[in-house]
Amino acid sequence: MQTLKTKVLIIGAGTGGYVAGIRCGQLGLDTILVDASPGLGGTCLNVGCIPSKAIIHAAGKYETVAKAAGDGTLGITALTPAIDLSKTVEWKDGVVKRLNAGVAALVKKAKVKVIKGWAEFSDAKTCTVKTDDGDIRITAEHVILATGSEPVELPFLPFGGDVISSTEALSLPEVPKKLVVVGGGYIGLELGIAFRKLGAEVAIVEMAERILPLYDKALTDPVAKWLEKHGVQLLLGARAGGFGDGKLNVTDKDGNPMQLDADKVLVTVGRRARTQGWGLENMGVAMNGPFVKIDNRCATSMKNVWAIGDLTGEPMLAHKGSAQGEVVAEIIAGHDRVFDPTTIAAVCFTEPEIVSAGLGPDDVKGRDDVIQAVFPFAAIGRALAIEAGEDGGFVRVIASESDHRLLGIQAVGQHVSELSNSFAQMLEMGAVLEDVAGTIHVHPTLGEAFHEASLRALGHAIHI
């Protein structure tokens, strides 16, 4: 058996692991990156963020052409469109492969050694990696755990055949005629909406009393209206049961049994940290429920063992893992760093999109020391010009009444994902309402709604 020793060993090449590897390399640390996936980039790049947004983009293009059929839209007419989903998936796969190659090139440039295989730890600093060329034993001074997460499987709806996870949904060769989505969170709604745009009949089964329960109702109402307008069957307070003979058993909110016809059942009831199968139990690290417990340096209870990304708990967001990866690499290199962000903005790529950063209205409910102001996209010229102002979208700001410090910013509307970084930046910098109000915002843009919401919170909005 080949034996290797290294300064830093990273397990998992997702957005946390490969970023940690690149930063370690930049800092001159001898680093080995172990990953079992065919391409670098983890869930996000291979079967999550990137491919799902590619399919969502293609679905939007198809919907635009479909609107132009018949009487047309905006004076544009076209023949009835058709889609060959296998070619769309082929294009999506090309995007993924291009990014895989880009990550591999960056890792190589940083002089990080990549080993393709499955690692299993015998103790906190030693693992055996099973590769196509035999086993490799690796010992390290520092270990960074970045194993990510995996879809939650329901015992009565095991994955296989026509019961699929988001991974399989992103590679379907054709659009299912009838798709039932179990779970009304962001993954289920993003994909359910995309397939509805592509022509599938879609039903969504959600146990909670409303969709996207992690967001406040004002943010989710425009999405619910889109679902209703486009004929998506929404069963709230309902429970899914077994599936067979093309029918999914469901119990509705009143306890009545029913069956939904389905060519495919997409189960999206959440993700769980990938803690099994690689010897975590042999490492002696403390747990925080189902997650690895870390401090504000991403250090575990075992000296020189670090954990980042989904393995460490909510929010399970790629950009959180990347930021943690950079912090840990710099700590190992001797820098004084902590992971203590003011906010981690979250985006839901539904129709319309949702952005949330910082405190929301539910977080400040009952407080009389805050200011809240909302500005609708219906009053923004750019939004109306791109048909983004008539779906109930808005930007909301929440600030401290005493010093006007921004506490939270939310938005719902088409393309608002592109505002997320501006929201996060303002919160991270400790901006006050006057900072946003005093910044000249480009016209015509959607960002003007952020400016106007801040002006409104100060009592002098211009365009409402």
Per-residue DSSP letter, 444: S
Which of these, 339, 319, 306, 311, lies nearest to 29 by C-alpha position? 306
- State phi, psi for 99 to the nearest 5 degrees: -70, -35
What would the two tokens of residue 422 be?
Answer: 């501006």
Judge whether 446 and 383 are in contact, CB under 8 Å.
yes
Q: Check: CB of residue 319 under 8 Å from CB of residue 16.
A: no
Identify any residues that bridge with 73 across adjacent strands, giving them in sequence order: 76
Give the type of residue at 63: E
**31, β-bridge pairs:** 8
Q: Which of 142, 230, 319, 443 is catalytic?
A: 443
Spatial separation of the C-alpha atoms in residues 84 and 94, rounded to whole Å: 16
Are 146 and 9 in contact, with CB atoms under 8 Å apart? Answer: no
At 49, the amino acid letter reads C
Are 212 and 348 in contact by the 8 Å Cβ rule? The answer is: yes
CB 378 within 8 A of CB 390: yes
Which helix or strand (DSSP H or E) is residue 229 part of? helix 217-229
Q: How many CB atoms are located within 10 Å of the residue 85 CB? A: 20
User: What does the radius of gyration of the chain's CA atoms come to, in whole angstroms?
Assistant: 24
Which token pair is 225? Answer: 């209206």
**332 pairs with which residues across the strands?**
none
Whether 319 is a known active-site residue: answer no
Are 450 and 419 in contact by the 8 Å Cβ rule? The answer is yes
The strand order across the sheet containing 264-267 reads 163-164, 264-267, 178-182, 201-206, 233-236
Instruction: Work out the burial of residue 315: count CB atoms within 10 Å of its CB; fewer than 13 is exposed, 13-18 middle, 19 or more buried.
Output: exposed
Judged by DSSP in three states, 52 sits in: helix
- In 130-273, alpha helices (H): 166-169, 186-197, 217-229
Catalytic residue positions? 443
